[in-house]
């Protein structure tokens, strides 16, 4: 997958994580991944840290896994029958 697409996906996911998670959950994510120098937003720090496609894919997986484990999600649902947003 192209690096630009991966950067966009990671950007959207980290933005969702920061927006939807509690401050405690964000701190837990940062503590779990303490190898990253957390200075700005999750989005900015991870996009700077993940400088190649392999790292971008890994961080997309890390963010998705964390959000699933902590039941962090938006209320947006897609109706598969007619592809309308609810």
Contact between 37 and 84 under an 8 Å Cβ cutoff? The reply is: no
For 3-34, write each residue's pLDDT tens digit. Answer: 999 999 999 999 999 999 999 999 999 999 99
Whether the pLDDT of residue 80 is over 80: the answer is no
Answer yes or no: pTM beyond 0.85.
Answer: no
Band (pLDDT 50/70/90 cuts) for residue 75 is low
Contact between 24 and 32 under an 8 Å Cβ cutoff? The reply is: no
Whether the pLDDT of residue 46 is over 90: the answer is yes
């Amino acid at each position: 997958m192209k690096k630009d697409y991966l950067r966009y996906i990671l950007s959207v996911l980290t933005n969702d994580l920061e927006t939807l998670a509690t401050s405690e959950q964000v701190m837990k994510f940062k503590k779990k991944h303490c190898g990253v120098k957390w200075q700005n937003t999750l989005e900015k720090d991870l996009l700077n840290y993940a400088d190649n496609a392999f790292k971008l894919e890994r961080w997309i997986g890390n963010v998705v896994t964390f959000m699933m484990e902590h039941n962090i999600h938006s209320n947006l649902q897609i109706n598969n029958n007619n592809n309308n947003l609810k």
